[in-house]
Amino acid sequence: MEEMINSAGFGDILVKIKAAERLSAGDAVRLYESNELLAIGYLANLVRERLNGDNAYFIYNQHINYSNICTNLCKFCAFGKDKSSDQAYEMSIDDIRKKVEERLDEPITEIHMVGGIHPDLPFSYYIDALRVIKSVRPDVHIQAFTCVEIFHLAELNQKPVHDTLIELREAGLGSIPGGGAEVFSPRIRARTCEKKLSGEGWLEVAKTAHRLGIKSNATMLYGHIETVAERVEHLEALRKAQDETGGFMTFIPLAFHPKNTELADLSRSSGILDLKNVAVARCFLDNFQHIKAYWVMIGAKLAQIALSFGADDMDGTVKEELITHMAGAETEQMLASKQLVRLIKEAGRIPIERDTLYNVLKRY
Ligand code: V47
């Protein structure tokens, strides 16, 4: 193996990884630009093993997308719709209650709830949405509202993000999902999502949450018009923020799906690009405990293989995911926990059902 690493030109990176030493941005660029996939995977696997042993995590969760009405209308997104669109929808608080009640017989421990930037729902709607979920399912952990939504909610609430987060937590918010990060580069944001909160703004919301003890995740949307340098800058900004607060739990690389978006002329990411994004992130983000292979976006089969390329988490059962499926994903809507356990076991790992904060609920 080490011979393969040396002949791929990564001998120096191997030395750093063995010494648990931080990689430079230049190292990450070299890994991205190389086609020595197995060498990159081997390096990432060493980091994964050091941080997570043989554990591979999943969660029993439910997704609720309360509305697709959005004023940002990002070019890479097929989910968000203008209010006037005949495909626009908005769930009432009672609809949310029913969604939760429908699955009360299942051992769901997390509800993942996100939507668009809605032009006129009041702040009280978001508070009521959290409260109604907690009233039906008091023990569930609610991971809701991306940093972009939180910023919008603070504007609606006419209070700082800090105070708004405290109110959301009192109503039932447990943690914040990683969406809305996209690629932090101003060039990418200007070309694909000019109305969206800036990268700095996103990081500031995340760090404010962390300082309050609210954990969050981080994502990067890759495989559209971003350059390797922009990906690495994104990872560097996340690593720096994590050094400051330690509040990120997981990094999730998100594979761009072009169908039904304004970037529909682009092709879908390849399996190699998907694995590289998992592996480079694992090597570079030495202060992130977990890297998630989100099977909804890259498929259950590749997510399973990603467990040998740095990932230690497969997300969860999900069901009724709309953001990727509106953009042409052909993956299943749901994986049963039995299927997740089997995928993880076949990858040679120990399946661990976790809660949102990575407490172990069951070892299989
Ligand atoms: O912010 C939008 C992305 C994100 C497309 O925190 C697209 O554990 C691919 O962040 N093709 C939302 N991606 C999903 C998300 C997420 C999912 C699962 C788990 C977690 C977590 C977070 O989806 C958006 C955006 O970056 N997205 N459109 C598309 N066409």
pLDDT at 334: 79
Q: What is the DSSP string of 282-327?
A: HHH-TT-SEEB--HHHH-HHHHHHHTTTT--EEEE-B-S--HHHHT
pLDDT digits (tens, 9 = 90+) for 122-152: 999 999 999 999 999 999 999 999 999 999 9
Q: At what angle do helices 199-211 and 228-245 cross, to 10 degrees?
A: 20
* β-strands 313-316, 350-354 pairing: unpaired
Q: Give me ligand 1 centre to Cα 132, in Å.
A: 25
Q: Which of 176, 277, 323, 333 maximizes ligand 1 atoms within 8 Å of its Cβ, making it the mutation to test the pocket?
A: 323
Q: How confident is the model at residue 333 (pLDDT cuts 50, 70, 90)?
A: confident
| Residue among 77, 147, 331 to mutate when testing ligand 1 (max atoms within 8 A of CB) | 77
Rounded to whole angstroms, the Cα distance separating 349 from 209 reads: 32
For the cut 90, the answer to whether the pLDDT of residue 230 exceeds it is: yes
Residue nearest ligand 1's atom 8 by CA:
177
d(CA 312, CA 306): 8
- In the reported structure, the alpha carbon of residue 349 is separated from the centroid of ligand 1 by a whole-number distance in angstroms of 26
- pLDDT tier at 93, thresholds 50, 70, 90: very high
182 C-alpha to ligand 1 centroid (Å): 8
Going from the Cα of 10 to the center of ligand 1, the distance in angstroms, rounded, reads: 32
Strand, helix or coil for residue 87: coil
Give me the sheet containing 360-363, strands edge to edge: 313-316, 55-59, 350-354, 360-363
CA-to-CA separations, 216 to 167, 187, 249, in angstroms, rounded: 17, 25, 6
Q: Report the separation in Å between the CA atom of 8 and the middle of ligand 1, taken as the mean of its atom positions.
A: 33
Q: How buried is residue 287: exposed, middle or buried, by Cβ count under 10 Å (0-12/13-18/19+)? A: middle
CA distances from 62 to 121, 125, 134, 320, 332 (A): 23, 20, 14, 8, 14
- The CA distance from 129 to 125, in Å, is 6
What's the confidence (pLDDT) of residue 331? 81
Q: CA-CA distances (angstroms) from residue 315 to 114, 210, 311, 319, 354?
A: 16, 21, 11, 12, 10
Q: Which of 219, 234, 295, 325 to mutate to test the pocket of ligand 1 (most atoms within 8 A of CB)?
A: 219
Selection from 228, 187, 220 nearest residue 202 by Cα: 220
The Cα diameter of the chain in Å comes to 61
CB 335 within 8 A of CB 295: yes
**Looking at ligand 1, which residue's alpha carbon is closest to its atom 17?**
179
Residues 6+ positions from 24 with CB-CB distance below 8 Å: none
Q: How far is the CA of 1 from the centre of ligand 1 (A)?
A: 35
Predicted confidence at residue 72, as pLDDT, reads: 97
Distance 179 CA to ligand 1 centre (A): 5
Atom of ligand 1 nearest to the CA of 179: 10
Looking at residue 320, its pLDDT comes to 80
pLDDT at residue number 112: 97
Neighbours of 54 (CB within 10 A): 13
Q: How far apart, in whole angstroms, are the C-alpha atoms of residue 51 and residue 45?
A: 10
The pLDDT tens digits for 76-90 are 999 999 999 999 999
Question: Rounded to an integer, what distance in angstroms lies between the CA atom of residue 72 and that of residue 61?
Answer: 27
- Lining ligand 1 with CB less than 6 A are 76-78, 146, 177-180, 182, 217, 219, 221, 252, 254, 256-257, 261, 294, 297, 315, 323-324, 327
The tens digit of pLDDT for each residue in 157-205 reads 999 999 999 999 999 999 999 999 999 999 999 999 999 999 999 999 9
Contact 169, 214 (CB under 8 A): yes
Ligand 1 atom closest to the Cα of residue 79 is 28
Task: Tell how far the Cα of 304 is from the centroid of ligand 1, in angstroms.
Answer: 19
Partners of 350 in the beta sheet? 55
Q: Of 150, 73, 148, 137, which Cα lies nearest the Cα of 109? A: 137
User: Which atom of ligand 1 is found nearest the CA of 255?
Assistant: 9
If you measure from the C-alpha of residue 253 to the centroid of ligand 1, how many angstroms do you get, rounded to a whole number?
A: 9
Q: How far apart are CA 324 and CA 24, in angstroms?
A: 32
345's enclosing H/E stretch is helix 337-346
The DSSP bridge partners found for residue 291 are: 251
pLDDT for residue 332 is more than 90: no
- pLDDT tens per residue, range 30-74: 999 999 999 999 999 999 999 999 999 999 999 999 999 999 999
